Amino acid sequence: MENSNENNNLEVVTTNKGGAPVGNTNSKKGKLFHGELHKALIQEDRLKLRQIADKLVEKAIEGESWAVKEIIDRVDGKAVQATEISGADGEDLKLVVSWQKS
């Protein structure tokens, strides 16, 4: 393996807070929708929001598993999924990194 300080083929891409490339406006669209949805739900002393929450609880009580899951996810937070990566038969993986001059 040969060490080199030459990084001619590397490109650094500046990203914004969300990890998307600079100039990506997708998050603005989502924020606009979120704002309008928020306004609609809190009108009339949050009556619509309360009705939706009541319906969700009602469905959970009726035994709808999706409703139970939604309530648990909102109250306790989503469960963290553990991921383990290993080779065949559970052995450790070997990572080899090499550089080539072009």
The 3-state secondary structure of 31-99 reads HHHHHHHHHHHHHHHHHHHHHHHHHHHHHHHCCCHHHHHHHHHHHHCCCCCCCCCCCHHHCCCCCCCCC
pLDDT at res. 64? 96
pLDDT of 1 > 50? The answer is no
The pTM (predicted TM-score) of the whole model is 0.50
User: pLDDT per residue over 21-35, tens digit each?
Assistant: 777 777 777 788 889
Q: What is the pLDDT of residues 36-95, one digit of tens each?
A: 999 998 888 889 999 999 999 999 999 999 999 999 999 988 888 888 788 778 788 887
Domain boundaries, the chain: 44-76
The distance in angstroms from the start CA to the end CA of the chain is: 14
